């Protein structure tokens, strides 16, 4: 959301100057955050901070940006007159593009230079090689890239959205006549080159119709209502994408009446992202749409090729920005975290806790934000869920920052938020905000985030995407591979799905120990203009043997592994995959 406060709201804020000053002075006492409820957030839960990694004085993260060999700047040639979209766009995609077992990074950098592909060399070292494989795309104002295997051949292709009227790109991962890996521009062939919307902000992939092929959802913040709705594209069995937004019932639901401070007024599309996830546990992939100015929505898959708007009273994020979907309470269903903005006129982040496994329930979510202690995220953007301290419960990380002209509210030097779950130590789930205590002290603006095990050491590292001349931060997690005295244990799970759904999008992984049962669902984008890889890292606490790893594949098949040793990476293949066959020559 941009320019969130209208002139009328600024006048309101001026009239409440005395109250603002009082709250700002409280925030100044709460560790440097200038958002209005910083002190409240810092006091939520246990003031001593969350469990770290068995060593009370060990910080979870160490910034290692300067030693990664990643170096670039991000921006636009028209830097003196940036649009709101340019101010929040860019993006980073993560995935193993060359199938060497390490997660690589593709970075969109505006139009000041070609986009970048950083090949992961291991040990948090990267080599830039976009030109070598055909991804050094220049002069595109891009946004929201995502790696996904759209043609079902076993390697990752790449979608890049365009803004300010610039075209989209769909780059297929291929082998040329010399046996070299290259990406081929197949955008026009696949029907995605010239969309009517001027801006494509974020992209995500999932199999909504259960045919095994990855379908595409794209968000178009700032698009007038009169423009054709082009959000959901069905994968036509590898022959291209077909716009089915109207056919599945979404076209009439995308546009909603926004709150009174909407930047562009009514009759505009304010969608930031869509997340594919099975929210009601019926085996069909639903769609969670995060949108600005009170227009976020829950679309439930009917199971017959269409969606219906299942918005409920609990969904009330006023300025939804980023999204993270996962089982935060280990009860077997998916909860939904939405990052937002906390001002006097906006209630901040929202945590929607999934309270039921009843497929026919009228209300799936309860807003438990305040009791969970995650309301105050400043001016939030991309978010992710990961078990950063490996205690068996998902934590929350999100970036933030904005140069907003709000009276006595300065979000320009706000720190990212790290909410650590107390689930392993308390019966009631709550979160503690402990970013500063755990090495995340930078006040640079963030927009995107990748939460991934960059060095394959068993814990989750952070790549924070920002803007400007120093547009990124890289945080190495110290929980397992670092300096922790008594590290918690982990299990990393990779899935090899049945083609064409080779990434096993929609599959669920259950990890059962004597004390807990964790569940993860494979999702492909979007955190907001960024994505996590599909690899899943499970924290086990001090448990050294997993009782069972159960995989429930999207086609209804399952596979079980018993008594799996901790502290290793396993790859589980679909029962019908012939692992002796190569995907592509």
pLDDT of residue 426: 79
Residue 554, pLDDT score: 97
Residue 358 confidence (pLDDT): 56
**Is 360 a member of any domain?**
yes
Residue that finishes a domain, picked among 427, 445, 477:
477
Q: What is the pLDDT of residue 229?
A: 97
- Read off the pLDDT of each residue in 570-580 and give the average, rounded to a whole number: 87
What are the pLDDT digits (tens) for 285-297?
A: 999 999 999 999 9
Q: Is 524 helix (H, G, I), strand (E, B) or coil?
A: strand
The string of pLDDT tens digits covering residues 42-68 is: 333 332 333 444 445 689 999 999 999
- CATH code assigned at 513: 2.60.40
pLDDT of residue 311: 81
Residue 585 confidence (pLDDT): 28
Q: What is the mean pLDDT of residues 132-150?
A: 97
500 and 405 in a common domain: no
Whether residue 26 is contained in a domain is answered as no
Please count the helices (runs of H) and the strands (runs of E) in the chain.
6, 37
Shared-domain flag, residues 407 and 513:
no
190-199, 483-492, 532-541: the lowest-pLDDT one:
483-492
Q: Are residues 434 and 499 in the same domain?
A: no
Tell me 149's DSSP state: -
Confidence at residue 70, expressed as pLDDT on a 0 to 100 scale: 97
Between the CA atoms of 537, 542, 546 and 549, what dihedral angle is there, to the nearest 10 degrees?
-20
pLDDT of residue 18: 33
Confidence of residue 409 (pLDDT cuts 50, 70, 90): confident
- Rounded mean pLDDT of 17-33? 33
- Residue 104's pLDDT is 99
Residue 35 has pLDDT above 50, yes or no: no
**Stated pTM of the model:** 0.89
Residues 565 and 544: their CA atoms lie apart, in Å, by 6
> Considering only CA atoms, which of 557, 504, 535, 570 is closest in space to residue 152?
504
Position 8 scores a pLDDT of 33
Residue 418 forms part of a structural domain: yes
pLDDT in tens, 353-399: 998 655 555 678 999 999 999 999 999 999 999 999 999 999 999 99
Percent with pLDDT over 90 in the chain: 75
> What pLDDT sits at residue 344?
81
pLDDT in tens, 98-111: 999 999 999 999 99
Per-residue pLDDT tens digits for 416-456: 999 999 987 877 889 999 999 999 998 889 999 999 999 99
Q: Considering the chain, what is the average pLDDT of its residues?
A: 87
φ, ψ of residue 88 in degrees (nearest 5): -110, 0
Which pLDDT score, from 0 to 100, does residue 333 have?
96
Give pLDDT, residue 484.
55
Based on the fold, state whether residues 255 and 281 are members of the same structural domain.
Answer: yes
Instruction: CATH number of the domain at 91, please.
Output: 2.130.10.10
| Residues 58, 52 contacting (CB under 8 angstroms) | yes
Q: What is the pLDDT of residues 316-361, one digit of tens each?
A: 888 899 999 999 999 999 999 999 998 887 889 999 999 865 555 5
Boundary residue ending a domain (477, 503, 520): 477
Q: Tell me, what's the pLDDT at 427?
A: 76
Query: For a pLDDT cut of 70, what percent of the chain falls above it?
Result: 86
The pLDDT, as a whole number, for residue 25 is: 33
**pLDDT for the residue 336:** 97
Same domain for 97 and 140, yes or no, is yes
Domain count, the chain: 2
Pair 435, 542 in one domain: no
Residue 273 is encoded by which pair of tokens?
């992202």
One domain, residues 131 and 188: yes
Rounded CA-CA distance 567/564 in Å is 10
pLDDT value, residue 57: 66
CA distance 199 to 209: 26
Sign (positive or negative) of CA dihedral 125, 129, 133, 135: positive
Statement to judge: residues 193 and 277 lie in one domain: yes
Q: What is the pLDDT of residue 405?
A: 55
Q: What is the C-alpha separation between 383 and 374, in angstroms, rounded?
A: 12
User: Could you tell me the residue range of the domain that residue 71 belongs to?
Assistant: 61-477
Q: Are residues 498 and 446 in the same domain?
A: no
- Structure-model confidence comparison of residues 19 and 285, the more confident one: 285
**Tens digit of pLDDT for each residue in 114-131?**
999 999 999 999 999 999
> Does any domain span residue 169?
yes
Domain end (from 457, 477, 497): 477
Domain presence at residue 137:
yes
Domain membership of residue 5 (yes or no) is: no
- Look at residue 381 and give its three-state secondary structure: strand
Asked if residue 507 and residue 448 are part of one domain, the reply reads no
Whether the per-residue pLDDT at 1 is higher than 60: the answer is no
**Residue 472 covered by a domain:** yes
439 with 355, same domain: the answer is: yes
Q: Is residue 188 part of a domain?
A: yes
Provide the token pair at 329.
């309470």
Clarify whether residues 339 and 412 are in a common domain: yes
Q: What whole-number distance in Å separates Cα of residue 498 and Cα of residue 555?
A: 9
Sorted by sequence, the CB contacts under 8 Å of residue 184 that are 6+ apart come out as 134, 171, 172, 174
pLDDT, one tens digit per residue, over 232-249 is 999 999 999 999 999 999
Output the pLDDT for position 404.
66
């Amino acid at each position: 959301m941009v320019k969130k406060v209208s002139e009328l709201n600024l006048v309101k804020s001026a009239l409440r100057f005395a109250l603002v000053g009082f709250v700002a002075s409280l925030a100044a006492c709460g560790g440097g955050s200038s958002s209005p409820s910083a002190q409240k957030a810092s006091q939520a839960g246990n003031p001593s901070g969350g469990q770290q990694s068995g060593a009370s004085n060990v910080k979870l993260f160490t910034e290692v940006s300067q030693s990664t060999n990643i170096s670039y700047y991000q921006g636009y040639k028209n830097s003196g007159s940036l649009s709101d979209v340019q101010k929040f766009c860019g993006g980073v995609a993560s995935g193993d593009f060359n199938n060497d077992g390490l997660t690589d990074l593709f970075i969109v950098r505006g139009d000041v230079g070609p986009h970048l592909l950083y090949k992961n060399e291991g040990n948090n070292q990267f080599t830039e090689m976009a030109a070598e494989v055909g991804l050094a795309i220049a002069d595109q104002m891009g946004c929201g890239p995502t790696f996904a295997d759209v043609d079902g051949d076993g390697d990752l292709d790449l979608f890049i959205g365009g803004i300010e009227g610039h075209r989209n790109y769909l780059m297929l991962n291929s082998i040329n006549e010399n046996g070299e890996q290259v990406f081929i521009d197949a955008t026009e062939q696949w029907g995605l080159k010239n969309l009517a919307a001027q801006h494509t902000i974020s992209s995500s992939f999932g199999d909504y119709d259960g045919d095994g092929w990855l379908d595409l959802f794209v968000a178009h913040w700032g698009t007038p209502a009169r423009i054709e709705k082009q959000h959901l594209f069905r994968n036509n069995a590898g022959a291209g994408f077909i716009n089915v937004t109207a056919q599945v019932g979404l076209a009439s639901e995308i546009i909603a009446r926004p709150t009174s401070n909407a930047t562009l007024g009514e009759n505009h599309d304010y969608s930031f992202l869509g997340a594919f996830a099975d929210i009601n546990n019926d085996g069909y992939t639903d769609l969670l749409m995060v949108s600005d100015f009170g227009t976020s929505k829950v679309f439930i898959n009917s199971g017959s090729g269409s969606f219906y708007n299942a918005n409920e009273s609990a969904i009330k994020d006023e300025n939804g920005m980023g999204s993270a979907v996962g089982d935060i309470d280990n009860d077997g269903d998916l909860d939904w975290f939405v990052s937002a903005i906390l001002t006097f006129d906006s209630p901040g982040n929202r945590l929607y806790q999934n309270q039921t496994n009843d497929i026919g329930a009228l209300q799936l979510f309860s807003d438990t934000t305040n009791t969970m202690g995650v309301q105050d995220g400043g001016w939030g953007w991309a978010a992710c869920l990961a078990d950063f301290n490996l205690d068996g419960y998902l934590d929350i990380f999100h970036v933030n920052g904005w140069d907003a002209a709000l009276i006595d509210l300065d979000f320009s030097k706000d720190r990212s938020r790290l909410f650590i779950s107390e689930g392993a130590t308390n019966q009631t789930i709550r979160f503690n905000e402990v970013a500063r205590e755990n090495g995340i002290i930078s006040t640079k603006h963030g927009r995107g985030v990748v939460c991934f095990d960059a060095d394959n050491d068993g814990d989750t590292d952070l790549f924070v995407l920002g803007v400007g001349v120093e547009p990124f931060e890289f945080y190495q997690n110290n929980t397992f591979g670092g300096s922790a005295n008594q590290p918690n244990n982990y299990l990393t799970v990779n899935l090899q799905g049945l083609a064409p759904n080779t990434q096993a999008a929609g599959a669920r992984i259950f990890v059962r120990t004597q004390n807990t049962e964790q569940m993860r669902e494979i999702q492909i984008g979007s955190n907001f203009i960024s994505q996590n890889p599909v690899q899943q890292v499970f924290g086990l606490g001090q448990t050294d043997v997993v009782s069972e790893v159960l995989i429930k594949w999207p086609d209804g098949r399952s596979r079980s592994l018993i008594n799996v040793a901790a502290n290793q990476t396993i790859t589980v293949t679909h029962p019908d995959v012939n692992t002796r066959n190569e995907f592509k020559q």
